[in-house]
Chain A
Amino acid sequence: MSIQVKNIHKKFGSFVALNDISLDFPTGELVALLGPSGCGKTTLLRIIAGLEQADSGNVLLEGQDASRTHIRDRHVGFVFQHYALFRHMSVFDNVAFGLRVKPRNERPSEDVIRKKVKDLLELVQLDWLADRFPAQLSGGQRQRIALARALAVEPRVLLLDEPFGALDAKVRKELRRWLRQLHDELHITSIFVTHDQEEALEVSDRVVLLNRGQVEQIGSPEEVWRTPATPFVYSFLGSVNLFHGRSAHGEVQLDGGSLSHDKGNIAPGAEVIAFARPHELQIDTNLDHTDGLRARITRIQAFGLTATVELERTDSSEHLHHYEVELTLDRLLALQLRNGTEVRLIPSHLKVFETPDNVGAEQYIASGI
């Protein structure tokens, strides 16, 4: 079933949680709502489910306005971050709940229920836990039971609110893959909320990036990763190095240096922010070069195929800038880098955005750079 939301507004007191959100969720897709905490993603999901009421705007389920439809009649499956399993019921009773509370004339017989619950438990590969209570399960098992319970009523859409948020990293990775496989089998329209960009990119067909109650970008995981539309998306997806400066012809002028870039359509003199991914920064040990910035190495982490070098600027008095460079182990050895070595940093690729007047660099720093 397709889901559309149109012009959704939602405020909590004076805090604007959602500001004019309009989105389309086509049938059968697995879409991730991605954003930092407080961006409104969970609120949007709860509005679609009917657990929360929008101040204005519509939710359309299969083209029909559902704003006045009670949650019971929306036929959505909802998976909660903290599982919300019924703690006094066995796993079996938890999964059977949705079937047992149906009105008498729609309720399947107890035999049918038993068969169905068994099938669902097999689907989530936990049929051997039917008699246990939620407290006796691990977090990952609980979340899979919660999913089976949501699927029992044959929902038209599946909504997952940070489903793996409370699990440890290893289980999370495992369940991600498993959720993707399950979705490929069932092809049920699904929306899942996450603040973990890796999770969103890995699992979903499409990613919707939200920030401060607004949509920043919509696209396939490759699209949003390769061509971030806004400074926020760039900084939110993966680690980045940030340069704050003023645009000149073909370069960004910073306090104590300049960086060249190839994008020419920014007016000279404009305030800009420039981004480079850690692998897009080159380290040059020849300090006589005038290109780039001077920096000192503060820490080197070398495990795996690549090494991460952390640096701080030495030519800027303003505030301490930290940079991160990723390079291959061979290159690290060839350059003979050590803690305290002074080098020049030269970006091989720079993405430049004009700074909107009202937004300072602090916002991008705050959002995880």
Chain B
Amino acid sequence: MAAIATTLHAAQAAALGSPRHYEDNPATRDRPLVKWIVLTISLLFFICFLVLPLATVFIEALKKGWDVYLEAILDDDAFSAIELTLIAAVIAVPLNLVFGVAAAWAIAKFDFRGKHLLITFIDLPFSVSPVVAGLVYVLMFGSNGWIGPWLSDHDIRIVFAVPGIVLATIFVTFPFIARELIPLMQAQGKDEEEAAVVLGASGWQTFWYVTLPNIRWGLIYGVVLCNARAMGEFGAVSVVSGHIRGVTNTMPLQIEILYNEYQFSAAFAVASLLALLALVTLVLKTFIEWRAALAARTTHQE
């Protein structure tokens, strides 16, 4: 996971230094053979394990033609699954955005007791199996759970309903933004914030005019990753969902149901849509990395 958190900085670093010289310089250049062997190995892997499966999804989805494809997607249940996936993402991502910025701010700019504990807890959703995460919510809010009876008395449904799915999604996507921002904000230090406050800026002005612009690209990057996970989450959501068709099925769950019912075309159609969303996310991510590297090159000090 740390790999994800540092990708952006690696991109910035790559833009700052110039690894190009390594290739240009005859003293450090490897034999072409080495280069081509390494390249071939990685490309073969890439094609076998990433491109082919992804292509299969789209080929299978469109095997029986556009009409079947559109029908599968516009099917009521499939459509409501898409809707639910988007709802979960739309609620979970902004909440984690607020949390992530607050947590990163607290960790990077303040000293307090239990700081390391907080950092550790932020990572919890990464280390806990999603199934366990889902189960926790069932145990808390389910009819036999801790506050389940109270909830059912008041006619509030959380598990096997939309709120449960949103909660599970929030849980699994919890660390993405905070994890992205913490190293970034720690690296930037608090000099600029201190300068702003000395110049008379209020706390809000300092955040809005100084901190936020500095973490802008890292923040968007975190949001994109968080969103990708929110839409793709299967395990935790599967446990709390109850698989009620047209009501509590998200896209990944809907795909599984369709597949288990041997409706391969429909399953692949929805899967292709999910894959497409992922691809869009990937393009966005690449664009952001490129922009961040550009920004790093033009505005980074030293």
Contacts and interface: CB of A to CB of B under 8 A. Distances in A.
A84 B299 contact: no
Contacts of A86: 192, 195-196, 209-210, 213
B71 interface: no
Given A101-B205, A133-B299, A135-B301, A84 B199 contact: no
Given A82-B191, A85-B301, A87-B299, A71 B197 contact: yes
Interface stretch (A72-80, A110-118, A325-333): A72-80
Given A87-B214, A134-B299, A77 B198 contact: yes
B21 interface: no
B202 A101 contact: yes
B58 to A, nearest CB: 41
Interface in A81-139: 82-89, 97-98, 101-102, 133-136
Contact of A87 (B192, B198, B200): B192
Nearest to A97: B199
A72 B197 contact: yes
Contacts of A88: 213-214, 295, 299
B138 to A, nearest CB: 46
Contacts of B214: 87-88
B154 interface: no
B188 to A, nearest CB: 9
Contacts of A171: none
Interface residues of A, number: 31
B301 A149 contact: no
A98 B195 CA distance: 10
Interface in A274-314: none
Contact of A135 (B196, B198, B299): B299
B154 to A, nearest CB: 46
Contacts of A134: 299, 301
Given A86-B195, A87-B192, A87-B214, A72 B298 contact: no
Contact of B191 (A76, A80, A149): A80
Contacts of A273: none
Given A87-B192, A88-B213, A71 B198 contact: yes
Nearest to B213: A88
Interface of B: 191-192, 194-202, 205, 209-210, 213-214, 295, 298-302
